[in-house]
C-alpha cells in the first residue's frame, strides 16, 4: 500500500506508525505472511479462519500480565470461573455501521497479505448453552444484575466506589476507561499500571503513547471513534509494589463492568491488546499464546474481536511490532466488512 493510497484510504499515518514502531525500514508484508504461516503451523489447532469467524464465548477467563506475554505461567484451569453462554441483554452487532473516520481496506477485498496466509487451524468454541446440562443454574449475583441495567453515569459511580475485590485497597484511582462512548473501535488492555493508577486514565505511560500512534494510523484517536478500556479497573501489584497480572478472581469481579461498557458502546470491532484481554473476553484457556490467537477474527458475543500484542510488550519486542501492524490491518478490513 503506497503512502498516497494510505492517505486516500484513511490509513494516513501507516508509515508514521511503522516508524513509531521502529519497523519502517524492515516492513515487508510478504515475509510477514510467510512468518505467520510458519507460526500458525507450529501451533495446535485453535482458531477459525477469518473467512468463517467463530462464535467464541463472552465469558470470564484469566489473564497474564501483558509485557511478558510469551512466557507467562498459566493459572490452573480449575480456578477459572465457569464459562457460560453469553448473558442475556448482550450487545447487538450493529447492522452495517457507517464508519466515522473511514479506515478502509485496499479495493476489491481484504489486503493482499491476508490472501497469502493459510490458516489451517480452526477453533471449536467452548460454548456451554444455558440449561443444557442438568446442573441448576447458579444464582445470579444481584450486583451483576444491577450492573447490566446501568447507564453511563451509574456505571461510572459504581466503579468509582467498587469494593468487589481486594484491588480496591491499594488503588489511588479507579481507571474506568476513556474515549468516545459511541466509538466504533474498542481497544481493551489488561489493567492500570502505576501512571494510570495515579491519573485515573488508561494507557497514559509509554505504552499509551505507542497505542495512540497505533490508533492514529487507523484513522482514529482517543476520544474520536475510539474507546480504551481495561479488563480490570484497579491496578494489580505484587508484594513489592510491582505490576502483576490480575488474578482470575479479580478478573471475574471486574469483567461485568467492561461487559456493560461494551453493551453501552456497541462497538463495531474490538481489539484485544495482549493475552489477558484476549483470554478474558474469549473465555479461553490461559495457556493459549497470543501468537495462536492472532490472524483470526474471533467473536465476543456477536462482535468481531481481533487479538494483537500488548503495547507494553511491543516496546521491548521489535520482532513482534510488524505483526501488530498486520493485526491492525486485519482489524481494519474487518471493520470495513462490517460497514458494508
Instruction: Count CB atoms within 10 A of the CB of residue 182.
Output: 12
SS3 13: coil
Find the part of the chain contacting ligand URA (CB under 6 A) among 43-51, 109-117, 187-195, 325-333: 187-195
324 binds ligand URA (CB under 6 A): no
Tell me the number of residues near ligand URA by CB under 6 A. 12
C-alpha radius of gyration, the chain, whole number:
19
Per-residue mark of binding to ligand URA, 225-264 (x: CB under 6 A): -----x----------------------------------
Q: Report the residue closest to ligand URA, judged by CB.
A: 189
Q: In terms of C-beta density within 10 A (0-12 exposed, 13-18 middle, 19 or more buried), how is residue 134 classed?
A: exposed
Among positions 53, 191, 267, 304, the unique one binding ligand URA when judged by CB under 6 A: 191
Among positions 61, 106, 190, 250, the unique one binding ligand URA when judged by CB under 6 A: 190
Find the part of the chain contacting ligand URA (CB under 6 A) among 34-42, 51-59, 125-133, 189-197: 189-197
179 binds ligand URA (CB under 6 A): no
CA distances from 304 to 93, 128, 201, 299 (A): 9, 20, 25, 5
192 binds ligand URA (CB under 6 A): yes
167 binds ligand URA (CB under 6 A): no
Instruction: Count CB atoms within 10 A of the CB of residue 248.
Output: 20
Find the part of the chain contacting ligand URA (CB under 6 A) among 15-23, 43-51, 103-111, 184-192: 184-192
Residues 33-52 that bind ligand URA (CB under 6 A): none
Going by C-alpha positions, the residue among 296, 314, 313 that lies closest to residue 305 is: 296
66 binds ligand URA (CB under 6 A): yes
| Residues 285, 44: Cα–Cα separation, whole Å | 13
Hey, which residues does 299 pair with through a beta bridge? 304
Going by C-alpha positions, the residue among 188, 243, 297, 251 that lies closest to residue 61 is: 251
Among positions 58, 202, 236, 283, the unique one binding ligand URA when judged by CB under 6 A: 202
189 binds ligand URA (CB under 6 A): yes
Q: In terms of C-beta density within 10 A (0-12 exposed, 13-18 middle, 19 or more buried), how is residue 54 classed?
A: buried
| Residues 319, 313: Cα–Cα separation, whole Å | 11
* Residue closer to ligand URA (CB basis): 64 or 75: 64
Q: What DSSP character marks residue 53?
A: -
* Residue closer to ligand URA (CB basis): 58 or 274: 274
Residues that bind ligand URA (CB under 6 A): 66, 189-193, 196, 202-203, 207, 230, 312
Amino acid at each position: 500500500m503506497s503512502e498516497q493510497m494510505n492517505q486516500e484510504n484513511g490509513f494516513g499515518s501507516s508509515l508514521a506508525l511503522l516508524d513509531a514502531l521502529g519497523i519502517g525500514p524492515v516492513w515487508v508484508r510478504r515475509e510477514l505472511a510467510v512468518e505467520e504461516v510458519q507460526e500458525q503451523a507450529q501451533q495446535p489447532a485453535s482458531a477459525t479462519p477469518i473467512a468463517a469467524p467463530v462464535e467464541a464465548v463472552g465469558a470470564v477467563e484469566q489473564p497474564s500480565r501483558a509485557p511478558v506475554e510469551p512466557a507467562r505461567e498459566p493459572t490452573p484451569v480449575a480456578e477459572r470461573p465457569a464459562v457460560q453462554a453469553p448473558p442475556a441483554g448482550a450487545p447487538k452487532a450493529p447492522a452495517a455501521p457507517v464508519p466515522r473516520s473511514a479506515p478502509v481496506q485496499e479495493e476489491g477485498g481484504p489486503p493482499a497479505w491476508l490472501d497469502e496466509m493459510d490458516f489451517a487451524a480452526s477453533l471449536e468454541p467452548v460454548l456451554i448453552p444455558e440449561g443444557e446440562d442438568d446442573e441448576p443454574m447458579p444464582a445470579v449475583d444481584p450486583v451483576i444484575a444491577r450492573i447490566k441495567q446501568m447507564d453511563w453515569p451509574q456505571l461510572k459511580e459504581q466503579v468509582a466506589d467498587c469494593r468487589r475485590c481486594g484491588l480496591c485497597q491499594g488503588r489511588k484511582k479507579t481507571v474506568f476507561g476513556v474515549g468516545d462512548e459511541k466509538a466504533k473501535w474498542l481497544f481493551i488492555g489488561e489493567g492500570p499500571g502505576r501512571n494510570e493508577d495515579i491519573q485515573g486514565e488508561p494507557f497514559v505511560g509509554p505504552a499509551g503513547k505507542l497505542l495512540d500512534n497505533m490508533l492514529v494510523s487507523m484513522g482514529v484517536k482517543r476520544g474520536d471513534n475510539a474507546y480504551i478500556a481495561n479488563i480490570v479497573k484497579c491496578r494489580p501489584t505484587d508484594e513489592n509494589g510491582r505490576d502483576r497480572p490480575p488474578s482470575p478472581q479479580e478478573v471475574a469481579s471486574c469483567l461485568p463492568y467492561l461487559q456493560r461498557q461494551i453493551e453501552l458502546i456497541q462497538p463495531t470491532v474490538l481489539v484485544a491488546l495482549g493475552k489477558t484481554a484476549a483470554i478474558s473476553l474469549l473465555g479461553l484457556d490461559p495457556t493459549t499464546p497470543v501468537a495462536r490467537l492472532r490472524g483470526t477474527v474471533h467473536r465476543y458475543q456477536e462482535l468481531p474481536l481481533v487479538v494483537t500484542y500488548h503495547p507494553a510488550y511491543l516496546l521491548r519486542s521489535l520482532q513482534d511490532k510488524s505483526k501488530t501492524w498486520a493485526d491492525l490491518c486485519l482489524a481494519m478490513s474487518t471493520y470495513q466488512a462490517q460497514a458494508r
